[in-house]
Amino acid sequence: MAVLDEIQASLARLAEGAGSSVVGIGQRWGVGSGIVFGAGRVLTNAHNVRGDQVTVTFGDGRTAEGSVAGHDADGDLAVIDLDTGDAPALPWATGASVSIGTPVFALANPGGRGLRVTFGFVSGIDRTFRGPRGRRITGSIEHTAPLLPGSSGGPVVDAAGQLLGINTNRLGEGFYLAIPADEALRGRVDALGRGESTTPPRLGIAIAPGHVARRLRRAVGLPEVEGLLIREVTEPSPAARAGLAQGDLIVAVAGQPVRTADDLFDALPAAGGTVELGIVRGVEERTVQVVLGESDQPDA
């Protein structure tokens, strides 16, 4: 019973302390949670943000309208600028070692509908998942503290109420992923707070994986080729201006073979302003020069 009493005391203490730093994001749909991490600054997941203005609900029930100071869709992070009033900043854990079996507490305020505090354990480290635009997010903490829908953007903390991670993805069957609150994350968050949004180069296409491309080509009598199938081209976009079309198969970037979406994602930032794509259209091989630019397509 002593262990249960200690957990109960920790939950109550965190609700009273760290809970005042946890906010609700949004009001009707696409709701989430967030963290006060400094005066006038709230951190949340990018997928919780719709547009440049955000409604934030504080633990005392006060609501305020904030503006997005910085946005990183690939890293699933956003910083909101607003009057945080008396809400304290949640302290970051310094030098904390998180390993399998570490006890953790998850806090959330889904859309401002009330504070939740749950208890669990770290079940895995250095996990990888896909962000909202399909990019890999690596090094994540997997834990078992239960979370309701709308909890993403809320914190995972230790028993002292120090930030260990930011909940961002539900795995199902009682497992959850959090972006670790390490020095790299702190640097990214500080940059977003300064308005340094991340806008990686994009082609303006939606893609299908290699196994889909092979199956479709086989179905229409074309030879199977390793690559990524373009299933949609945005207008206007760099891909459209370069003449790429639905049904084209991307087989190379800058002369390097493309087998997976990660091959494409990893090659684009290093390509600079222009990238050379090797494509197959039907049975014809072509080389296309694409002048890169920003796109709102989720895949590439």
Q: Which of 21, 33, 71, 76 is catalytic?
A: 76
Please tell me what DSSP assigns to residue 282.
T
Active site (annotated) includes residue 47: yes
Nearest to 106 by CA among 162, 160, 150, 167: 167
71 is catalytic: no
Alpha-carbon distance of 246 to 182, in angstroms, equals: 41
User: Do the beta carbons of residue 25 and residue 48 sit within 8 Å?
Assistant: yes
Distance CA 34, CA 115 (A): 11
> Pick the catalytic residue: 10, 33, 47, 143?
47
Give the pair of three-digit tokens for residue 177: 């992923």
Task: Give SS3 for 128.
Answer: strand
> Regarding beta strands 228-233 and 205-208, do their DSSP bridges make them parallel or antiparallel, or are they unpaired?
antiparallel
Which H or E element spans position 22?
A: strand 22-25
Q: How far is CA 273 from CA 151, 200, 202, in A?
A: 38, 11, 10
The catalytic residue among 152, 158, 237, 295 is 152
First to last CA, the chain: 53
C-alpha 155/C-alpha 230 separation (Å) is 37
| The residue count for the chain | 300
Active-site residues, by number, are: 47, 76, 152
